[in-house]
Chain A
Amino acid sequence: MKTFLYTAILALASSAHPPAALADGDYGSVPLRDKEQHLIDTSNELHGYFASQAMVYGDEEVLEVVRRVGRDLAPPPTDDYVEYRFFVLRDPSPNAFALPNGDVYIHTGMLARLRDESQLAGVLAHEINHVAGHHGIVEHRATKKKAITSMVLSGFGGFGDLINIGLHASVYGFSRELEQEADDHAAALLLDSPYDPHALPEIFDILAEDHEGLNPRIPTMWSTHPDSRARARTSREQVAQMPRRPRESDAFELVMHQLRMLTIRDYIQDDYPHTAIALAESVIERYPNEPELLHVLGDAWQAMGGRGPLDADELSNRDKRRNARERHRRTREQRLAEQLETEEGRAAYAANLARAEDTYRRALAIDPDFAPAWRGLGEVDEQLERPRDAAEAYLRYVRLAPDAADRAIVVRRLEALAGKLKAQENASEL
């Protein structure tokens, strides 16, 4: 999936493209030249592709908020090939991108981290400026010109590498200029809108978060942008003199609640448990008595396996690169097996399971019939080699939630546990 996305979107999305612009964006009308229509055609087709891969997030309430904020910000289109449309993609990476035809996509992983509509407006304003400035088309032209120049020059013996190094450096610099331009225009766009421009630097703070010590956590479009911390500083200076506007987060929080739960689960599923814990704890601060939230937090602690606590700021870039390499080399089961070979890993494993158990019990203290917490307890007991406790917890789950989607999975686990219990019984009789 990622391969396709990068091939397609890198060719189109302004926010993504590291090689790029020799020129500033053009906020007037930009007629398409020969052979550029394919940029628009491909942009139009991409949505069909996302739909074919079931990636388009369909919660109408969430979409309505995103569309409304987008509409509040989008300027009138300057060309007939541009029509602003706003979509959400189911992807936990904190990302957003815009296509030359005006389609703006924001990931669930970005929405889940935002606190209010002003922050959402900050993200969308940045992307809208990529469209309004025709950055995709400008970059396409610039890249093509540079690539041709590079190839021609590199054909004359010996200069190729030098030329390419120079090209790469300047290209990267220009890309940053366009990004900076989008940031600058975003601040101005927010100033002319109902939203608070002071939300803009907060987005870069969010993007600078690195809970997993992988920086970037996963290669995202935004990771090719200028350093997020530097952008946050620049942005703070930029908006310092702008007026503050009132911000309301309760309604936004409510609409995004299920999306956040889904994103936490996605982080667990994708094996980013530190990020899942951070996000879950931040939501639990606001909703401390929700068993469902405590349950996903328990799952996140389980997913930690033999990993200890992590302070990404204390890791060197080399450590982070090594972490990323290791992560992509081995399956999560292999990594857990390696962690459990060390004393430190075993201690972390026990501590994480204890945290998970404690969290499930907190959920059950609020609602003793909250079935998923019983399943979580069963999983912890199973990992701690307590088959009787595990069987009791799973059984409780199956009885409380007879129509659960994972019933067959849990029954298979119970079948295995029955075998273990019988073996224990036979052994004790002997």
Chain B
Amino acid sequence: MSSRNNTIRVAAAAVAALAWSAQAWAGHVTDEFENGETRPLSIALLPVEATVVKAKAVDTETLVQEGIEYGAVYAELASDIMTGKGYTVRVIEPDRINADPRLQEYVVDANRRYDEMVSRLRPRRIKRRIYNAGDEVRLLADYLGVDAIAFSRLNVTVTPMGGAIVGALFGGGSSPGTSSTLSIVDGRSGDLEAHYLGIRPVMPGEKSEEQVLEQVADVARRALGSLPTADPSKRQASTASEEDVLNELESLLDQ
């Protein structure tokens, strides 16, 4: 009886995990993003924050240089996918950021505000439009002249076979695999409009650079597979010019 219950529990957990994964890959978006009103035409993709770790038997080694390289690769892949869907994508390179103190300040501010927002994120609640990254993202979008900012995170965990065996025997250890998120934040409102997640679990074992790159490409495709195409006909644009707004307001205040 007990063994049967356990089997049912494991099966239920597996089904739940699969259902969650399918949803996660599908992405979460606001209704307005879905119907095109707030879907951007131009997107600035900030440097991808990538964490690459090798979970060994007794410690975890962080591969910093690989993180920088895979992050750049992911940015390129994500840019290609979004461009293929009709968006005008600007990949904001670290060198450009570090050469422009104002841009550097805006990027750091926007990233921190995004981190705060995303740490409280429950993707299903995006539709309620309760996640906002504030003026920091609006400033950055205005400065870069884009409709939206894309923030992306990439995690790669390589668990050599030895580490996996020790983990299985004694507990602990990290699951090998690659995952990524890509969030699109509206440059006018600061609202989180879309959040995509891609996961690629893999078997334990050393991985060659080609294999990791293949995983990175795969999670980029999984994450952005359901991103709808850009649609200029549906996006709501501001009609009045800045000066029109100011003149109208001045006359209203004079009354």
Contact = CB atoms under 8 A, between A and B. Distances in A.
Interface of A: 1-4, 7-8, 11, 38, 42, 45-46, 48-49, 51-56, 58, 90, 140, 143-144, 147-148, 151, 154-155, 160, 262, 266, 269-271, 328-331, 333-334, 388, 391-392, 395, 398, 405-409, 411-412, 414-415, 417-418, 421-422, 425
Contacts of A421: 249, 252-253
A3 B52 CA distance: 11
Contacts of B104: 54, 58
B12 interface: no
A250 B109 CA distance: 29
Given A42-B62, A147-B59, A270-B112, A409 B135 contact: yes
Given A270-B116, A388-B253, 19 more contacts: A1-B112, A1-B115, A4-B49, A11-B61, A38-B61, A48-B68, A52-B94, A53-B47, A55-B108, A56-B98, A154-B170, A154-B171, A269-B113, A328-B120, A408-B138, A409-B139, A412-B188, A418-B249, A421-B253
Nearest to A421: B252
Residue among A53, A55, A140, A262 with max Cβ neighbours from chain B (10 Å): A53
21 contacts: A2-B115, A7-B60, A42-B61, A42-B63, A42-B64, A46-B64, A51-B94, A52-B71, A52-B94, A144-B59, A155-B170, A266-B112, A328-B119, A329-B120, A330-B120, A331-B132, A391-B249, A395-B250, A405-B142, A407-B142, A417-B249
Contact of B112 (A58, A269, A408): A269
A269 B137 CA distance: 12
Interface string B24-61: 00000000000000000000000101010100001111
B91 interface: no
B117 interface: yes
A360 B9 CA distance: 61
A405 B252 contact: no
A143 to B, nearest CB: 7
Interface string B141-160: 01100000000000000000
A406 B49 contact: no
Interface stretch (B80-88, B177-185, B213-221, B237-245): B237-245
Given A3-B51, A143-B59, A395-B249, A269 B64 contact: no
B70 to A, nearest CB: 12
Contact of A391 (B61, B240, B253): B253
Contacts of B64: 8, 42, 45-46, 48-49
Counting from the closest, the 7 A-B pairs by CB-CB distance are A45-B64, A8-B62, A147-B58, A52-B94, A151-B170, A45-B65, A54-B97
A8 to B, nearest CB: 4
Contact of B136 (A140, A269, A411): A269
Contact of B116 (A48, A271, A398, A412): A271
Given A11-B62, A333-B132, A405-B142, A49 B68 contact: yes
Interface in B83-128: 94, 97-98, 101-102, 104-105, 107-109, 111-113, 115-117, 119-120
Contacts of A417: 249
B210 interface: no
B115 A395 contact: no
A275 B173 CA distance: 38
Contacts of A407: 142, 242
Interface of B: 47, 49, 51, 53, 58-65, 67-68, 71, 94, 97-98, 101-102, 104-105, 107-109, 111-113, 115-117, 119-120, 130-132, 134-136, 138-139, 142-143, 166, 169-171, 188, 238, 240, 242, 245-246, 248-250, 252-253, 255
B58 A151 contact: yes
Contacts of A90: 108
B98 to A, nearest CB: 6
Q: What's the dominant secondary structure at chain A's contact region?
A: helix
Contact of A411 (B47, B107, B113, B245): B245
A391 B138 CA distance: 20
A48 B66 CA distance: 11
A148 to B, nearest CB: 6
A331 B120 contact: yes
A321 B227 CA distance: 39
Contacts of A331: 117, 120, 130-132
B63 to A, nearest CB: 8
A357 B131 CA distance: 27
Nearest to B188: A412
B253 A392 contact: yes
A54 B94 contact: yes
A298 to B, nearest CB: 15
Contact of A406 (B139, B169, B240): B139
Nearest to B106: A405
B51 A52 contact: no
Contact of A11 (B59, B105, B135): B59
Given A328-B120, A331-B132, A54 B238 contact: no
A151 B165 CA distance: 12
A395 B253 contact: yes
A55 B112 CA distance: 11
B98 A51 contact: yes
Given A8-B62, A269-B136, A409-B138, A414 B116 contact: no
